[in-house]
Amino acid sequence: MSDNRAVVYAGAGKVDVVDVDFPSFTLQDGPGVNPASVGRECPHGVILKVVSTNICGSDQHMVRGRTTAPEGLVLGHEITGEVIEVGPDVEFVKVGDLCSVPFNIACGRCRNCKEGKTGICLNVNPDRPGAAYGYVDMGGWVGGQAQYVMVPYADWNLLKFPDRDQAMEKILDLTMLSDIFPTGFHGCVTAGVGVGSTVYIAGAGPVGLAAATSAQLLGAAVVIVGDLNKDRLAQARSFGCETVDVSQGDPKDQIEQLLGVPEVDCGVDAVGFEARGHGHGAAAEAPATVLNSLMELTAAGGAIGIPGLYVTGDPGAVDEAAKVGALSLSLGTGWAKSLSFATGQCPVMSYHRRLMMAILHDKVHIATAVNAKPIRLEDAPRGYADFDSGAATKFVLDPHGLISA
């Protein structure tokens, strides 16, 4: 039996749980590891015993075969864990600390990190700015859907929970701090959501539901969530959102029925590049649909936050342009309405401490909003299959049985 088990991408539509090497402070060669990173020393890192690690919609894009991810890639970028070993250059993080790990890896030393742009760190990916655990083209860092994982630049990256017992009581909420809660919050902040705003969120998956929760936390007057999936729309309604079933037609027509006008102050794209069309029988993929719709229904002078994932390599795209991330956007609409757009990875560190405090002081219940469900690491293939089938559930992997205990 190996000292470590992990979830790996095993080809389009398939994941396996396999034995993998125990992590070390030296990057080893392996599937998805950037050759320029092999042998890189990380004395600034720590080894975590993973307490919780979540299945994300971004992982699902890879598992569907919609990226250039290689088989054998260890998945997982939503990580919460206990420090069990520290590197020689770690000064402040201690063995026994229970911490949240931002999904985007940042050095804390480059210009972008010093400006708070931790989603596009310049020193963690040899190919381009920005890196993440267990994700294609994101630097080759080993993923955290495992029993153990190495986290680099630990003093900078880790968010320590102030009280371990309190944190374990709220672990299903706190596990969302690694990605979807800050990501949804970032989508709302960049869309300009504030007190009294009317907000339309495209997509009722976990990020969309996290964005809806964030909009409420920010003081929105009305939060409207659109999707094709009736179960996910019901989940949005369960915590006070209005909903739009986009299979029934253009969202702006249904928004007019709710608000009296066919527009909102703020728009959020929580769908990304696998978007589908609107209207009856709209099962066909139409990747620019959500962005063009948001430009139509966001009021002039408004803003659109785009936390939904878009990629530059999609072998399963519907046309040659979309395969390289080129979409047919009505940019003229956006220009004419003086709309603002914000894209890219959420800089998790800009938000996660404040959101942690909101959780610890019972100001928000994100696990309930996204319908979090813990499952065993060995049950990850079933979790991926259920999530892919449209389950209105955020699956949280429990590698050591600590959540169920």
* 10-residue stretch averages of pLDDT, the chain, 405 residues long: 87 96 95 91 98 95 92 97 98 98 97 97 96 93 97 98 97 98 98 98 97 98 97 98 94 96 98 85 79 96 95 87 89 96 96 98 98 98 95 97 88
Helix (H, G, I), strand (E, B) or coil at 268: strand
CATH class of 5-179+347-398: alpha beta
Helix (H) / strand (E) element for 381: namely: helix 380-388
Shortest CA distance to 126 belongs to which of 221, 32, 251, 13?
32
Residue 162 burial (CB count, 10 A): 10
- The reply to whether the predicted model has a pTM over 0.75 is yes
**Cβ proximity of 76 and 51 under 8 Å:** no
Supply 282's token pair: 């709209």
How many angstroms from the chain centroid is the CA of residue 21?
A: 26
Distances from the Cα of 275 to the Cα of 126, 286, 317, 339, angstroms: 30, 6, 11, 21
Burial of 336 (0-12, 13-18, 19+ CB in 10 A): exposed
Instruction: Enumerate the domain spans of the chain.
Output: 5-179+347-398, 180-342
Residue 1: per-residue pLDDT: 39
Supply 79's token pair: 């990580």
Q: Tell me the CATH architecture of domain 180-342.
A: 3-Layer(aba) Sandwich (3.40)
